[in-house]
């Protein structure tokens, strides 16, 4: 059975939740596929120049399996602008090419002809705005994807990917100030029955503080709201009054970070959460770390039932 009380989402897309215990430490990820803002400019400029934006490691993507919503994974996702007014998207080696005719009816994404491989912006007013750089954040983009082939044995995947032009580790290390970032977070939580059609969404306002002189970062998601989606039909958003999710202090390592999340007692009581294991993972974007974004992974127990969650977050410097 699926718990109808697991609320995990926010204005900053939270990709997947991990352990909610003591704060975690960051680790420098491989940067062989990184594009740096000081070299290529904004995300839109990089796309216009024929560059490929990549979510190439665990700080950039969080994924669940389509046919078995019980496993976290980390997909490699890339986006490249094409000559047909759209983008070429590759998820774990499988590419789908979208033209301007593949824009979804609501304008937020691109959808394949058979409806099985779709990608939607979570950081701009529309998919075309994200690709063209006419809306959203200049240096990073968040995309939510649902990628599967019913004729294949591949179970398929869905989740969130963060791409963009990153800050170099040298620039991050050179900053000695204390910076605050504001944005949003969003989480999708699924029950142990494994259905992709039922879920709980959670959204909230995100604030992060980077103490560059100390090499630390921490944050908070508040003004939390949640809604239930049953049989692909969304219910109304409901405020979780007083509910908050702490992003516990973590080390800044290179130009990224990784730490634990910890909902407060009000959140847990309101949602029936008795166990949660969650992690937030992110990077800095822009020539001087003007933006930060990442994903969240989580699992736990609510109302006596297991859940698993994926999400993302996005913010810019105040």
pLDDT at 31: 59
pLDDT at 112: 94
Which of 262, 267, 260, 271 has the alpha carbon at shortest distance from 304?
Answer: 271
| C-alpha dist (Å) from residue 32 to 21, 55, 170, 244, 258 | 32, 12, 16, 36, 19
pLDDT at 229: 78
> Which residue, chain included where needed, has tokens 């080390």?
251
pLDDT at 239: 94
Which of 73, 92, 87, 80 has the alpha carbon at shortest distance from 35?
Answer: 80
Please report, in tens digits, the pLDDT of each residue of the chain (318 residues total): 223 333 333 333 333 333 333 333 333 344 568 999 999 999 999 999 999 999 988 788 887 765 555 566 678 899 999 999 999 999 888 899 999 999 999 999 999 999 889 999 999 999 999 999 998 999 999 999 888 777 766 667 788 999 999 999 999 999 999 999 999 999 988 876 656 667 788 999 999 999 999 999 999 999 999 888 777 777 889 999 999 999 999 999 999 999 999 999 999 998 888 999 999 999 999 999 999 999 998 988 888 888 888 899 999 999
Are the CB atoms for 122 and 144 separated by under 8 Å? yes
Query: How crowded is residue 225: how many other Cβ atoms within 10 Å of its Cβ?
Result: 19
pLDDT in tens, 184-199: 999 988 876 656 667 7
Measured CA to CA, the distance from residue 11 to residue 177 in angstroms comes to 26
Query: How crowded is residue 97: how many other Cβ atoms within 10 Å of its Cβ?
Result: 15
pLDDT at 194: 57
Measured CA to CA, the distance from residue 61 to residue 262 in angstroms comes to 20
Measured CA to CA, the distance from residue 112 to residue 104 in angstroms comes to 9
Which of 311, 310, 312, 301 has the alpha carbon at shortest distance from 2?
Answer: 301
Question: Domain locations in the chain?
Answer: 12-317
Q: What is the CA radius of gyration of the chain?
A: 18
pLDDT at 107: 95
pLDDT at 94: 87
Measured CA to CA, the distance from residue 137 to residue 159 in angstroms comes to 20
């Amino acid at each position: 059975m699926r718990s109808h009380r697991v609320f995990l989402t926010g204005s900053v897309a939270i990709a997947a939740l991990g352990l909610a215990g003591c704060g975690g430490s960051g680790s420098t990820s491989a940067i062989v596929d990184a594009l740096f803002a000081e070299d290529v400019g904004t995300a839109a400029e990089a796309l216009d120049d024929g560059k490929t934006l990549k979510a190439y490691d665990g700080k950039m993507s969080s994924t669940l399996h389509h046919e078995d919503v019980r496993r976290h994974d980390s997909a490699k996702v890339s986006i490249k602008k094409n000559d047909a007014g759209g983008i070429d998207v590759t998820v774990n080696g499988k590419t789908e090419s979208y033209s301007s005719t593949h824009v979804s009816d609501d304008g937020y994404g691109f959808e394949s002809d058979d409806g099985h491989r779709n990608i939607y912006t979570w950081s701009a007013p529309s998919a075309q705005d994200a690709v063209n750089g006419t809306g959203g954040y200049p240096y990073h983009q968040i995309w939510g994807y649902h990628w599967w082939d019913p004729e294949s044995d591949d179970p398929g995947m869905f989740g969130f990917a963060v791409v963009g032009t990153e800050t170099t580790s040298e620039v991050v290390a050179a900053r000695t100030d204390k910076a605050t970032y504001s944005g949003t977070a969003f989480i999708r939580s699924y029950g142990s029955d494994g259905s992709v059609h039922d879920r709980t969404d959670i959204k909230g306002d995100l604030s992060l503080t980077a103490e560059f002189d100390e090499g630390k970062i921490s944050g908070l998601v508040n003004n939390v709201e949640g809604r239930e989606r049953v049989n692909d039909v969304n219910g109304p958003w409901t405020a979780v009054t007083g509910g908050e999710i702490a992003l516990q202090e973590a080390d800044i390592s290179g130009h990224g970070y990784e730490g634990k999340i910890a909902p407060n007692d009000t959140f847990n009581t309101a949602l029936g959460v008795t166990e949660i294991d969650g992690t937030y993972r992110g990077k800095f974007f822009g020539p001087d770390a003007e933006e930060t974004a990442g994903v969240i992974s989580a699992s736990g127990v609510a109302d006596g039932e297991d859940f698993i969650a994926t999400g993302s977050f996005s913010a810019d410097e105040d």
